[in-house]
Structure 1
Amino acid sequence: MRWDGQKVAAAGGEALPGLALANLVRSVRTPDFAGVTFHEVLCRSALNKVPAASQMPFRWTVNPIRGCLHACTYCFARPTHEYLDLDAARDFETQLVVKTNVVDVLRAELARPSWRREHVAMGTNSDPYQRAEGRYGFMPGIVDALVAHGTPLSVLTKGTLLRRDLPLLADAAREVRVGIGISLAVLDDELHAELEPGTP
């Protein structure tokens, strides 16, 4: 991965002061993403279990990036940033946590004999096809890993970067059940700019 930006901080696996990020590798800014800091971390787990009490129709998610450049004012996931000692407003849009090893960790988790090939949803906490995916390119590896282990998947996105992976997802659908949802909240341009300023 090549960055033409500047390294902001590195903590050798420790958390930054005031920022609850364990396993931090570095924090980076780049001119392509003005005003945004990417906090690159090594995750211990890629699969997130949805609480049994949840009414969601799936029990597992993968979120390679926490926070979202789409900056939707109504996003239900905003409060999850507070668990990191970040705020749910501006920080959610500008302080992104990037799980740089998410594909390798996911492959290892899916290879466990205990994995039951349950449905995995993406786009539940942040958009997997937000603009930062163009920088990191996680989704092809994530989809490949899920398919290789016979795991059905779904994607919910507002991101036009989804088009890049449509052939991959079409191939995946020949092997496992694949669902794709496109979220278009508003068709009014002015309202769109007010409610979803970072979406295409």
Structure 2
Amino acid sequence: MRWEGQKLESDSGDALPGLAKISNLIRSVQTPEFAGVTFHEVAAKSALNRVGPGSAVPFAWTINPYRGCSHACVYCFARPSHQYLDLDAGKDFDSQVIVKVNVAEALRRDLARPTWDREHVALGTNTDPYQRAEGKYRLMPGIISALAESRTPFSILTKGTLMRRDLPLLTEAAQSVDIQLAMSIAIFDDDLQSTMEPGTPTTAARLATVSAAVDAGFDVA
């Protein structure tokens, strides 16, 4: 498979110095389908992130299946988080994407803890869960199923039209748990969007995804 054939070893001359700071690295992968992007697959110990005390956000927990984002929005506030891995906040944030390949299994362990109180969980707070990588890795279906089965309410904020793929699963999950969906649309000018958000779907495609979600019974923000 082409996907397998493009594996980079951590001691390869093409490897980044910062790879040593990526915990539980399994492998680094490049593929022609995602030209210019390297995926660093990791085994996550936990999926849930607790929001720090004093935060103004209306939720206490988040899940980020990816770190870094190929949407490449120039204004993204999450860019500095890549510097913790000795990767830069510019091009590396767009092209060096950390993939928590076992995030659904890690989440199920988190949710099975006796102390878990089924508090609201937010996705899309740091990097987009429906960025292009999701088309390959398909992490969101497992996350959605785990949250729904544990009766944990959750929300998804995205610019990605891949959410449309999961609408049947989300519709089923909404029968047992509260789900909130939101589509981020900041720019309506196509030329400006291609400059400011070069890796995102078009505004028209995002609006079509909103329409599909509304047709499926969701009140999309």
Partner of 2:213: none
TM-score, with structure 1 as normaliser: 0.94
CA contact 2:2–2:31 (8 Å) conserved in 1: no
> Residues of 1 paired with 2:155 and 2:2: CA distance?
29
> Residues of 1 paired with 2:123 and 2:9: CA distance?
29
Cα deviation for residue 3 of structure 1 reads 2.1
Partner of 2:49: 48
Task: Write out aligned runs for 1:60-99 (5 A).
Answer: 60-99=61-100
Cα deviation for residue 170 of structure 1 reads 1.3
Task: Write out aligned runs for 1:33-182 (5 A).
Answer: 33-182=34-183
> Residues of 2 paired with 1:116 and 1:52: CA distance?
17
Cα deviation for residue 184 of structure 1 reads 0.7
Q: Percent identity?
A: 63
Counterpart amino acid of residue 8 in structure 1: L
- Structure 1 gap segments, 5+ residues each: none
- Across the two proteins, how many residue pairs are aligned to each other? 197
CA contact 2:17–2:86 (8 Å) conserved in 1: no
The answer on 1:193 being equivalent to 2:178 is no
Partner of 1:8: 8
The alignment partner of 2:7 has SS state of strand
CA contact 2:157–2:183 (8 Å) conserved in 1: yes
> Residues of 2 paired with 1:79 and 1:18: CA distance?
14
CA contact 1:21–1:84 (8 Å) conserved in 2: yes
Q: What are the superposed Cα offsets for residues 37-68 of structure 1, whole Å, 9 maximum, x if unpaired?
A: 10111111110111011101101011111000
> Residues of 2 paired with 1:170 and 1:118: CA distance?
20
Q: What are the superposed Cα offsets for residues 112-164 of structure 1, whole Å, 9 maximum, x if unpaired?
A: 11000000000011111111001000001000000111100000001010100
> Residues of 2 paired with 1:5 and 1:126: CA distance?
27
> Residues of 2 paired with 1:130 and 1:183: CA distance?
13
CA contact 1:157–1:182 (8 Å) conserved in 2: yes
Please report the RMSD computed on the Cα atoms of aligned residues, expressed in angstroms. 1.7
> Residues of 2 paired with 1:52 and 1:186: CA distance?
32
CA contact 1:129–1:157 (8 Å) conserved in 2: yes
Counterpart amino acid of residue 77 in structure 1: A
- Structure 2 gap segments, 5+ residues each: 202-221
> Residues of 2 paired with 1:111 and 1:196: CA distance?
38
CA contact 1:155–1:180 (8 Å) conserved in 2: yes
The alignment partner of 1:3 has SS state of helix
Cα deviation for residue 4 of structure 1 reads 4.8
The answer on 1:23 being equivalent to 2:27 is no
More helix by share: 2
> Residues of 2 paired with 1:195 and 1:95: CA distance?
19
